[in-house]
Amino acid sequence: MRVVVVDDHVLCRLGLARLVGEQPDLELAAAAASAEEALERVRADRPDVVVTAVSLPGGDGLGLTRRLRADDRIGVVVLGDSEAEDTLFQAMEAGASAYVDASAPIAQMVAAIRHAAVAPGSFTAEGLAEALERRRRDRELLTPRERETLGLLMQGLPIAQIGHSMNLSPHTAKTYTARIYDKLGVTNRTQAVMAALRLGLVRDGEDDARSSGCRATRRR
């Protein structure tokens, strides 16, 4: 199984390269320090798996993952922080084959690479079941009415218009908004949008709300 490792830190890149080279069933195809260099090496060396850090110069590992997974034959392992649960879900949504803590034991790292080689379209991560359960609970954090209010907030609507859209008085709409802020632990619309995305309160198919949310962040 041919592997390309991608990390802008020399020591990390060399460590990954050595790790791959020490496995009897893995072969180091190339090492790269940036997303663009990685794409060049992939085109030239046609690896089975790419192992990439989340943060890269000239682009990020998640963006690289999306581009690589356009070819469904290539598996991608994303290295990040186990405490950054939002990044785990971003890696999964980007099409990664595995997400691994950069400080994980060697056996776990190697297992992720092997998984990516044989099942590139199947996602795995340590603690994934627990993370999915926490996301499910987070999605149930808001009542249906509060979720409706949140969706309108993410579209950038002012409170008065939110109330009109929901057949509520401005005062009641403001109360719903205050409850959302309190439950999400935020103090304004911008923070609410970011928290909603981080907690997965925005479901698939709500891309319009996401883009509107970007407009909302510029208003506040």
b/e code 202-214 from CB counts within 10 Å (16+ = b):
beeeeeebeebbe
- Model pTM score: 0.66
- Rounded Cα distance between 131 and 137, Å, is 10
- Rounded Cα distance between 36 and 34, Å, is 6
* DSSP letter (8 states) at residue 1: -
pLDDT at 131: 81
pLDDT at 202: 64
pLDDT at 36: 94
Q: Give every CB contact of residue 207 below 8 A, 6+ residues apart in sequence.
A: none
Amino acid sitting at position 205: G
Task: Indicate the pairing of strand 55-56 with strand 49-53.
Answer: unpaired
Q: Give every CB contact of residue 11 below 8 A, 6+ residues apart in sequence.
A: none
Write down all domains in the chain, each with its CATH number in brackets.
2-127 (3.40.50.2300), 141-219 (1.10.10.10)
pLDDT at 208: 40
| Residue 109 clears pLDDT 60, i.e. is over it | yes
pLDDT band at 138 (very low <50, low <70, confident <90, very high): low
Selected residue with higher pLDDT from 137 and 50: 50
| Residue 27 clears pLDDT 60, i.e. is over it | yes
pLDDT band at 40 (very low <50, low <70, confident <90, very high): very high
- Rounded Cα distance between 139 and 201, Å, is 5
Percent of the chain with pLDDT over 90: 63
- Rounded Cα distance between 33 and 183, Å, is 41
Percent of the chain with pLDDT over 70: 90
pLDDT band at 143 (very low <50, low <70, confident <90, very high): confident
Tokens of 187: 């103090």
End-to-end CA distance of the chain: 50
Q: Give every CB contact of residue 137 below 8 A, 6+ residues apart in sequence.
A: none
Residue 125 backbone phi and psi in degrees, to 5: -160, 145
- Rounded Cα distance between 141 and 183, Å, is 7
pLDDT band at 144 (very low <50, low <70, confident <90, very high): confident
79-to-22, 31, 89, 108, 158 alpha-carbon distances in Å: 19, 15, 13, 12, 40
pLDDT in tens, 161-177: 999 999 999 999 999 99
The whole-number average pLDDT for the span 168-196 is 89
The DSSP secondary structure of 125-150, one letter per residue, reads: ETTHHHHHHHHHHHHTSS-HHHHHHH
